[in-house]
């Protein structure tokens, strides 16, 4: 693998870690406090702008920290790595911690709140392409 792609993978892993940690905290707040009061869709819509702002800042930090060049290859590598790790973490939590099946997890993605969340995750994955640093 070329060195610039390895750099993208390292930056993507760091980007994922920061955003996942924030998402874990905010997701707990959403599930415990917001969903019972506002419902799933409204709760995701309330959480999403904050998660995207955190993602934007974390992306910029990772780009600067790992000096990812402003070329498509390393930026795609960073976003793809972060997205793959995020999906792996979500599936692992869903199946392991919450006792869901894979079909339950996939079915949840087809709900309105699941689709909004997935759209946010795709924006998270594309941020390295949009950020200058």
pLDDT tens over the chain, length 133 residues: 677 678 899 999 999 999 999 999 999 999 999 999 999 999 999 999 999 999 999 999 999 999 999 999 999 999 999 999 999 999 999 999 888 999 999 999 999 999 999 999 999 999 999 998 7
* Contact indicator for 75, 128 with CB cutoff of 8 Å: yes
Tell me, what's the pLDDT at 4? 64
Tell me, what's the pLDDT at 84? 98
DSSP string, 31-89: IIIIHHHH-HHHHHHHHHHHHHHHHHHHHHHHHHHTT--SSHHHHHHHHHHHHHHHHHH
Q: What is the pTM of this model?
A: 0.93
Other residues' Cβ atoms within 10 Å of the Cβ of residue 88: 11
């Amino acid at each position: 693998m070329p060195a610039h792609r390895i750099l993208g993978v390292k930056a993507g892993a760091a980007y994922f870690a920061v955003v996942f940690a924030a998402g874990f905290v905010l997701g707990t707040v959403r599930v415990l406090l917001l969903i019972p009061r506002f419902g799933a869709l409204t709760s995701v819509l309330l959480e999403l702008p904050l998660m995207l702002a955190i993602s934007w800042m974390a992306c910029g930090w990772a780009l600067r920290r790992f000096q990812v060049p402003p070329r498509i290859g390393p930026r795609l590598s960073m976003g793809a790595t972060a997205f793959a790790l995020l999906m792996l973490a979500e599936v692992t939590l869903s199946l392991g911690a919450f006792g869901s099946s894979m079909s339950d997890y996939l079915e949840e993605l087809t709900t309105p709140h699941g689709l909004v969340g997935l759209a946010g995750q795709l924006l998270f994955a594309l941020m390295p392409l949009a950020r200058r640093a």
